């Protein structure tokens, strides 16, 4: 198997001053990429700003013989994000890779969380990813090459007490990836998600001390590097932590087709066991695949010809 390299590739990594972002930026640089180290330098709750962390990572890359620049754009500000992209292209000529990693936490139970806290978490995670991706989209499509990673979380995929804002933002990445993977795939712009579990400044207070070394960010970055390589898949959710890697998929059960007197709320409740039976479950390629499935099932239940030739 050939070595994964990023020579002549240019990457933007958001939230790259510390933790996972720093590890990703260093990992890309070590394999030849020129890196834009983006970090607002805010605290974990999104307050404050400083260029010190980003500059330190740039210095680390320079010390290893690589090329990098620091950028302090706030990912929630489209104007600042566009200026960051313009600076990257002016400096390095193009951009091939975008790692959407910037994030904050404002954990509270839903009953105690303010709407402002909810909104700002969504703005950083979701709209921050949208802003950066949108600013680069035409550039990548025009060059017919791009590798984009959205950072999701088990909190969004499975839920985590006290993280309704964070979980909602991270779950939203799924819908964004599903659509962009379809729109970009035909132009060799691949969009994937990374679902990391790491000991970082955002999570270390929540983890038992004995797990901190196991869950170092460096154990996740190899998966990220695969997702932004030339051989990267498209539309994959890669779970990563402690050197362990998994794939998360969304499946739909075979389900039932109700008609006549059974097509009632009571009929749905009575069929719930069959509806939830995982036997025969399948992955939907796109939203219309579900529409075709339901129309086919309904036609078969009524003895009608299949509405589509499959």
Residues 85, 152: one domain?
Answer: yes
Domain contains 57: yes
- In this structure, are 292 and 215 located in the same domain? no
Give the structural domain span for 220: 10-248
pLDDT of residue 97: 99
> Does 5 fall in a domain?
no
Residues 6+ apart with CB under 8 A from 32: 5, 6, 7, 8, 9, 66
Answer yes or no: is 289 within a domain.
Answer: yes
Helices H, strands E: what count in the chain?
Answer: 11, 10
Among 248, 266, 290, the domain-final residue is: 248
Residue 309 domain-assigned?
no
| Co-location of 97 and 135 in the same domain | yes
Q: How far is C-alpha 75 from the geometric centre of its chain's CA atoms?
A: 15
**Gyration radius of the chain's alpha carbons:** 22
Q: Terminus-to-terminus CA distance in the chain, angstroms?
A: 38
Give pLDDT, residue 49: 56
Helix, strand and coil content of the chain, in percent to the nearest 5, comes to 45, 15, 40
Same-domain check for residues 133 and 206: yes
CB 142 within 8 A of CB 184: no
Q: What pLDDT does residue 204 have?
A: 58
Tokens read off for 143: 């060059």
Quote the number of domains for the chain.
Answer: 2
In a domain, 261, yes or no: yes
Rounded to whole angstroms, the Cα distance separating 95 from 10 reads 5
Give the separation between CA 15 and CA 73, rounded to whole angstroms: 10
Same domain, 40 and 144: yes
Please indicate, yes or no, whether residues 256 and 164 belong to a single structural domain of this protein: no
Q: Tell whether 126 and 49 lie within a shared domain.
A: yes
Residue 97 within any structural domain of the chain: yes
Contact 15, 37 (CB under 8 A): no
* Alpha helices per DSSP H over 161-230: 164-185, 221-227
Dihedral sign, Cα of residue 232, residue 121, residue 206, residue 18: positive
For residue 205, the model assigns a pLDDT of 60
Let me know whether 38 and 158 are in one domain: yes
Residue 139 lies in a domain: yes
Is residue 220 domain-resident?
Answer: yes
The answer to whether residue 166 is catalytic is yes
Q: Give pLDDT, residue 157.
A: 95
| Mean pLDDT in consecutive groups of 10 residues from the start of the chain, 310 residues | 96 96 98 97 64 94 98 97 98 98 95 96 98 98 98 94 96 98 98 86 60 84 98 97 93 97 97 98 91 89 80
Query: pLDDT digit string (tens) for 148-187?
Result: 999 999 999 999 999 999 999 999 999 999 999 999 999 9
Residue 78 in tokens: 């489209």
Catalytic residue among 158, 166, 251, 294: 166
Tell me: the pLDDT tens digits for 95-122?
Answer: 999 999 999 999 999 999 999 999 999 9
CATH for 21: 3.40.50.720
Triad 107, 221, 180: Cα angle to 5°? 75
Does 292 lie in the same domain as 179? Answer: no
- 118 and 227 part of one domain: yes
199 shares its domain with 279: no
Residues 286 and 178 in one domain: no
């Amino acid at each position: 198997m050939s070595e994964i390299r990023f020579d002549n590739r240019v990457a933007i990594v958001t939230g790259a001053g510390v933790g996972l972002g720093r590890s990703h930026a260093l990992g890309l640089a070590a394999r030849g990429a020129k890196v834009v180290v983006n970090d607002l330098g805010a605290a974990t709750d999104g307050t404050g700003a400083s260029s010190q962390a980003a500059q330190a990572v740039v210095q680390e890359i320079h010390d290893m013989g690589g090329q990098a620049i620091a950028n302090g754009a706030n990912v929630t500000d489209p104007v600042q994000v566009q200026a960051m992209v313009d600076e990257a292209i002016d400096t390095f000529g193009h951009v091939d890779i975008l790692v959407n990693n910037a994030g904050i936490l404002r954990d509270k139970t839903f009953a105690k969380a303010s709407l402002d806290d909810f909104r700002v978490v969504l703005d950083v995670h979701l709209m921050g990813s949208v802003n950066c991706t949108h600013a680069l989209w035409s550039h990548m499509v025009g060059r017919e090459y791009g590798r984009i990673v959205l950072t999701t979380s088990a909190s969004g995929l499975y839920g985590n007490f006290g993280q309704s804002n964070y979980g909602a933002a991270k779950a939203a990445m799924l819908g964004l990836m599903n659509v962009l993977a379809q729109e970009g795939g035909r132009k060799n712009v691949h969009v994937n998600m990374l679902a990391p579990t790491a000991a970082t400044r955002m999570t270390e207070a929540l983890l038992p001390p004995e797990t901190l070394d196991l869950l170092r960010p460096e154990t996740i970055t190899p998966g990220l590097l695969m997702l932004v390589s030339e051989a990267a898949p498209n539309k994959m959710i890669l779970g990563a932590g402690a050197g362990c890697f998994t794939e998360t998929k969304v499946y739909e059960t075979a389900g039932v087709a109700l008609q006549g007197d059974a097509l009632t709320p009571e009929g749905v409740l009575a069929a719930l066991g069959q509806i939830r039976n995982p036997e025969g479950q399948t992955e939907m390629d796109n939203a219309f695949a579900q529409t075709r499935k339901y129309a086919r099932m309904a036609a078969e239940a009524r003895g009608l010809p299949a509405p589509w030739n499959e």
